[in-house]
Homo-oligomer: A and B are copies of this chain.
Amino acid sequence: MDAKIPVGILGATGTVGQKFIRLLDNHPWFRVKELAASERSAGKPYEEAAAWKQAAPVPDAVRRLDLRPCTPDLGCRIVFSGLDSTVAGPIEESFAAAGYVVLSNSKNHRLDLDVPLIIPEVNAEHLGLIPLQKRNRGWRGCIVTNSNCSTMFLAMVLGPLHAAFTVEEVMVVTMQAISGAGYPGVPSLDILGNVIPYIDGEEEKMEVETRKILGRFDGGKVNLAGFRVSAQCNRVAVEDGHTESVSLKFARKAPVEEIAEALRAFSGLPQRLRLPSAPEHPILVTSAPDRPQPRFDVGLAGGMAAVVGRIRPCPVLDVKFTLLGHNTIRGAAGASILNAELLKAQGYLE
């Protein structure tokens, strides 16, 4: 009667786990059936164990669900992982080995040669790694990852630009929201009225993940894109929304308006397949002189789009602009869900 696909959430009490629950509430294809967390929480009803920090209340459907431990005996075949990277590695592997399709937010497997790192609008063909992964590892299931939150929006805009103009150099400076660090995350004494010019491991992630996502899949492996990326990552006192100041150099020079048009016109497989979580336009371009801003623009398109503004020539590289995205929606849980929708639409869940 309920034709929805049952899914589980690993790390359900954490920040990303909570966002999974909120975004999957009333999802047309998926139904949250299993919630798993650390041994410490296992056995407790969800509402009791989670320090719920979302603006909307805990959905009724999961409020009373008892938490399970993160062992591969859940009553579903698909699991979304919001696990912390300190524990995600072996747990996600154990699920994949046992036949689960694991949609992972964690960094642990993103750079594995046989694990796809997917943005459905940009590199859906990298799913071709899945059969290799299963064969290599002797797994019945698989792991599909999405990128780091700040990488996501950069890679999304590089998608159409690399295709049209061939990106050669990327300079990006981020101003990242506190929600990106989870909960309790950043102490208020560290960030109130302050900027922290350092986020552990973040620059390295942006510099490599971007090149994997934009890389070419040759049937056997992903060849990293040839451009160079330099990232500088800062934390600012913003609740949600990573802002990025980006400069790019292209092989093929083009006027600013042509670049803006390439972003505006961009559309991909999720849009053609009408995936439930796909934004109508993955990239929104604003012409207001002082936008995008987290306060006003982070919720556009339900937090699933990248918002670009202030596109203008760069005196050093070719073009520069400001980029904004919702770090816990498209930058995390929403990305995994869109990946799962893509997997289903392409028959990977059968």
In the assembled complex, A190 has its CB within 8 A of some CB on chain B:
yes
Tallying the copies of this chain within the complex gives 4
A189-B179, A234-B175, A299-B55 as given contacts; A245 in contact with B197, CB under 8 Å: yes
**A1 within 8 A of partner (CB):** no
Flag if B183 contacts A290 (CB, 8 Å).
Answer: no
Contacts of A191 in B (CB 8 A): 188, 192
The total of chain A residues at the interface (CB under 8 A) is: 55
A238 with B195: CB separation less than 8 A: yes
Given known contacts A178-B188, A185-B189, A187-B184, A195 and B239 CB-to-CB distance under 8 angstroms: no
Which of A35-43, A158-166, A261-269, A310-318 binds B? A310-318
B178 and A183 contacting across the interface, CB-CB below 8 Å: no
Stretch at the interface among A59-67, A143-151, A224-232, A274-282: A224-232
Among B193, B290, B292, B294, point to the contact of A295 (Cβ < 8 A).
B193
Docked Cα-Cα span, A259 to B290, in Å, equals 35
Decide if A243 touches B234 in the complex (CB within 8 Å): yes
Specify which chain B residues have a CB less than 8 angstroms from the CB of A196 in the assembled complex. Answer: 290, 293
Is A25 close to B, CB under 8 A? no
A191 and B295 alpha carbons, distance in the complex (Å): 9
Given contacts A55-B296, A299-B55, contact A239 B171 (CB under 8 A): no
Ordered by A's residue number, 20 sampled pairs between the chains whose C-beta atoms are within 8 Å are A53-B189, A173-B173, A173-B245, A175-B234, A175-B236, A183-B187, A184-B189, A184-B190, A185-B189, A188-B190, A189-B239, A194-B293, A197-B245, A198-B289, A207-B315, A229-B315, A230-B247, A230-B320, A232-B320, A234-B322
Known: A207-B315, A232-B247; 8 extra A-B contacts, CB below 8 A, are A55-B295, A171-B247, A187-B187, A188-B191, A193-B238, A228-B316, A229-B315, A230-B316
